[in-house]
Amino acid sequence: MATLPTVPQPTATTRWRCTLCGNLTRFDVTRSSKTVEYVHLDLAGEPTVEEREVVSETIESVRCRWCNAVDQIELVDRPGAGS
């Protein structure tokens, strides 16, 4: 089974940047997640998710919206993160 490359996760002090065009703000993110949800059904049977717990989450790919580069991102410091 092939292992997918790990996409770096942004943190409180870092953000994504496209290494090809420099984009810092627009990305399409494909992610898989495993969640546990508390679903409340009203009397008509309409569901409403009232609680959601993310058990695990994996970012599979990130595509730059400006240049369409796939998985060409890096982590850079956020402005003011060192303050």
End-to-end CA distance of the chain: 44
What's the pLDDT tens digit per position in 1-34?
455 557 788 999 999 999 999 999 999 999 999 9
Gyration radius (Cα) of the chain, Å: 17
Q: In one letter, which amino acid is 81?
A: A
Give the chain's count of helices (H) and strands (E).
Answer: 0, 4
pTM of the prediction? 0.69
CA atoms within 13 A on the CB side of 29: 17
Do 61 and 27 contact (CB within 8 A), yes or no? no
**Residues 63-83, mean pLDDT to the nearest whole number:** 88
